């Protein structure tokens, strides 16, 4: 008998639904590199419609989606992109925009709500004119992240994005949104996706996080942008042949699971409320806007590694953020009973640690695995 595992490591861990598997099996396919896969074409057209953009392109991953987007906008080596100092592109994508694209990052401090101050964005813009002509890279792009993962899944408002878009336009720059969880933001804010991204020149949307598809992301923008992005996707090895098999599952994910995101957010708040009652933890309930719950460990006897080891023995999977913090992520395959079971297991794990009865595996490198890149 298979024992159920409550997997809260990320919303990337979902398994394909029966409807997704059926759609994959029945998908009408052809060679997408030759532009002939009908299922991919229909799915890309649907994502362009939903986001209010002219065209869309399926890519294997969110990291490739962001990389292709940044390199499309910054087509001259030595270009500079302004982005948050705790953004996923800056922290968790292997520095690809610099190592592969020759694009320099200008990080601006992210506020606790995931925004960057408008005046700091403006101050970071550099052009090769005057005294800086020989010294500075040229700013060509601003990147935002919505929701903002390292800020706890906080949502950037349409009004804020519009202001950043105005800054970009007035300085001749482009605006890209890493919208890995843009549908979570849309649902939490009650604002349609196309309105949220109206000011953006491009958006990357992850299909395998909250939406639950097995593979892939999509980037959207103008037809000219997507035409160039398609070339870069091929350059990076992202051109796939009968990709309609994957797009069919992604279509089902968008069709069936956007409507479940509000329930994910509700369960996250229930989980946060329960964690708040455990006196060894601190939880900011106001920070839980979408499907992520962060909590800090206040008791010096408890570490995140010890806690996560004990939870795994009870078939609850979580990954430490730091030595004294943990991030839990809700997805559509987590039930209300899973949330309550998790809270019970956490309480028992805390009791076991404090009683001194728990035995732990030795960590070979003595470090804490950071899960925030997922």
- DSSP H/E element including 255: helix 244-257
Domain limits, the chain:
18-256, 260-353
Place of tokens 């794990």: 349
Per DSSP, the three-state class of 65 is: helix
CB atoms near residue 141 (< 10 Å): 25
List C-alpha distances in Å: 290 to 30, 110, 173, 186.
37, 18, 30, 10
Does the predicted model carry a pTM greater than 0.85?
A: yes
- Supply the CATH classification number for the domain 18-256: 3.40.640.10
Cβ-contact 325, 284 below 8 angstroms: no
Distance, CA of 96 to CA of 44 (rounded, Å): 25
**CATH class of the structural domain 260-353:** alpha beta
Burial class (CB in 10 A: 0-12, 13-18, 19+), 34: exposed
Distance, CA of 82 to CA of 261 (rounded, Å): 30
Q: What pLDDT tens digit does each residue of the chain (374 aa) get?
A: 446 899 999 999 999 999 999 999 999 999 999 999 999 999 999 999 999 999 999 999 999 999 999 999 999 999 999 999 999 999 999 999 999 999 999 999 999 999 999 999 999 999 877 766 778 899 999 999 999 999 999 999 999 999 999 999 999 999 999 999 999 999 999 999 999 999 999 999 999 999 999 999 999 999 999 999 999 999 999 999 999 999 999 999 999 999 999 999 999 999 999 999 999 999 999 999 999 999 999 999 999 999 999 999 999 999 898 899 999 999 999 999 999 999 999 999 999 999 987 777 754 434 444 555 66
């Amino acid at each position: 008998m298979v024992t159920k595992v409550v997997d809260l490591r990320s919303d990337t861990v979902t398994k394909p639904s029966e409807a997704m598997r059926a759609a994959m099996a029945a998908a009408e396919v052809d060679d997408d590199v030759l532009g002939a896969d009908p299922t991919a074409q229909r799915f890309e057209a649907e994502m362009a419609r939903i986001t209010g953009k002219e065209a869309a392109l399926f890519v294997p991953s969110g990291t490739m989606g962001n990389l292709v987007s940044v390199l499309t906008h910054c087509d001259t080596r030595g270009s500079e992109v302004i982005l948050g100092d705790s953004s996923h592109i800056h922290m968790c994508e292997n520095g690809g925009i610099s190592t592969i694209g020759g694009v320099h990052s200008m990080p601006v401090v992210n506020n606790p709500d995931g925004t960057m101050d408008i005046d700091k964005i403006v101050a970071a813009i550099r052009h090769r004119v005057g005294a800086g002509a020989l010294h500075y890279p040229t700013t060509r792009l601003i990147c935002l992240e919505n929701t903002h993962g390292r800020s706890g899944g906080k949502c950037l408002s349409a009004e804020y994005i519009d202001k950043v878009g105005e800054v970009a336009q007035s300085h001749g720059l482009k605006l890209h949104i890493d919208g890995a969880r843009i549908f979570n933001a849309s649902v939490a804010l009650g604002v349609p996706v196309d309105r949220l991204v109206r000011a953006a020149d491009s958006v990357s949307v992850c299909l395998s996080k909250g939406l639950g598809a097995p593979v892939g992301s999509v980037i959207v923008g103008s037809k000219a942008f997507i035409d160039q992005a398609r070339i870069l996707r091929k350059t990076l090895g992202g051109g796939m042949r009968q990709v309609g098999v994957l797009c069919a599952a992604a279509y089902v994910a968008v069709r069936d699971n956007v409507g479940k995101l509000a329930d994910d957010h509700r369960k996250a708040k229930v989980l946060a409320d329960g964690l708040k009652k455990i006196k060894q933890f601190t939880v900011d309930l106001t920070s839980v806007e979408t499907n992520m719950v962060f909590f800090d460990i206040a008791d010096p006897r408890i570490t995140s590694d010890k806690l996560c080891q004990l939870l795994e023995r009870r078939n609850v999977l979580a990954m430490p953020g730091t030595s004294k913090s943990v991030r839990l992520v809700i997805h559509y395959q987590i039930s209300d009973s899973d949330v309550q079971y998790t809270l019970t297991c956490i309480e028992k794990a805390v009791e076991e640690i404090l009683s001194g009865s728990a035995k732990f595996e030795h960590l070979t490198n003595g470090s804490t695995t950071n899960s925030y890149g997922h």
